[in-house]
């Protein structure tokens, strides 16, 4: 049931609020496609005249739809391989320093293969201007793994600082979070109620004459 129930519940969360676009990771594309199919099938059976009853959402993928975790697998708190906004610079630095690199590169003077290195992937995100240089340095053993990690850390921490600072600012004022959630919930309930009314009417579950 989990394979069916979870995606269907996810679909309900999306179509209930008339979402036109959904920002997701690459691994979530199959789930969104099921949402799109559910919306299309519903519209096929219960179309209100020429208009669709449910909005068929589109995916929004970033330029980097998949970010690997510290061990090269998908980043996940369940795998304990994630980099968190709540962490400080010291903790994030420690995590980067143990991040998986090319396992075939045993000694400092061994040439490496950046394509087998998780750290090298982060140059796409935070230091694309250095990627070619790092690629050459790794393959020729001119650049060691420790130096490579330190270099990307110097780009990663400043890039993430504004997000971490904003999170800390909000966490220090829980009343503001409550106000934001309340305002959002009020708005969401209004949209959801209108969607349910439209769905019920298209299915003949409410009277048009009351």
Beta bridge partner(s), residue 59: 22
Sorted by sequence, the CB contacts under 8 Å of residue 83 that are 6+ apart come out as 70, 75, 92, 95
Question: How far is residue 122's CA from residue 97's CA, in Å, rounded to a whole number?
Answer: 13
Name the one residue in this structure whose structure tokens are 């690997």: 68
Q: CA–CA separation, 192 vs 188, rounded Å?
A: 6
Q: What is the spatial distance between Cα 11 and Cα 56, in angstroms, rounded to a whole number?
A: 10
* Tens-place pLDDT, residues 156-203: 999 999 999 999 898 898 899 899 999 999 999 999 999 999 999 999
Pairwise CA distance, residues 42 & 202, whole Å:
10
Per residue of the chain (210 residues), what is the pLDDT tens digit? Answer: 888 888 899 999 999 999 999 998 888 898 899 999 999 999 999 986 678 899 999 999 887 767 899 999 988 889 999 999 888 899 999 999 999 999 999 999 999 999 999 999 999 999 999 999 999 999 999 999 999 999 999 999 999 999 999 998 988 988 998 999 999 999 999 999 999 999 999 998 876 555
How is residue 124 written in tokens? 């796409």
Question: How far apart, in Å, are the Cα atoms of 23 and each of 32, 36, 39, 140, 165?
Answer: 10, 14, 18, 39, 23
Look up the pTM and report it. 0.71
Given phi > 0 = left and psi -120 to 50 = alpha, else beta, which region is 49?
Answer: left
Measured between alpha carbons, how far is 102 from 187 in angstroms, rounded to an integer?
49
How far is Cα 131 from Cα 114, in angstroms, rounded to an integer? 10
């Amino acid at each position: 049931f989990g394979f069916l129930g979870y995606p269907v519940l996810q679909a309900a969360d999306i179509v209930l609020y008339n979402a036109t676009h959904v920002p997701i990771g690459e691994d979530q594309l199959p789930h969104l496609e099921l949402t799109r199919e559910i919306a299309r099938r519903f519209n096929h059976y219960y179309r209100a005249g020429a208009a669709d009853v449910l909005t068929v959402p589109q995916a929004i993928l970033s330029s980097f739809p998949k970010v690997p975790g510290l061990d090269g697998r998908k980043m996940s708190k369940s795998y304990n391989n994630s980099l968190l906004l709540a962490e400080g610079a010291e903790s994030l630095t420690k995590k980067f320093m143990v991040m998986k690199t090319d396992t075939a590169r045993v000694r400092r003077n061994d040439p490496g293969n950046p394509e087998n290195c998780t750290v090298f992937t982060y140059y796409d995100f935070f230091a694309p201007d250095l990627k070619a240089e790092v690629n050459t340095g790794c393959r020729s053993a001119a650049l060691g793994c420790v130096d490579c990690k330190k270099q990307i850390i110097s780009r990663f921490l400043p890039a993430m600082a504004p997000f971490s600072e904003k999170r800390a600012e909000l966490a220090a004022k829980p009343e503001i979070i409550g106000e934001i959630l309340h305002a959002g919930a009020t708005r969401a309930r209004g949209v959801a109620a209108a969607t349910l009314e439209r769905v019920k009417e298209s299915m003949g579950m409410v009277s048009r004459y009351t």
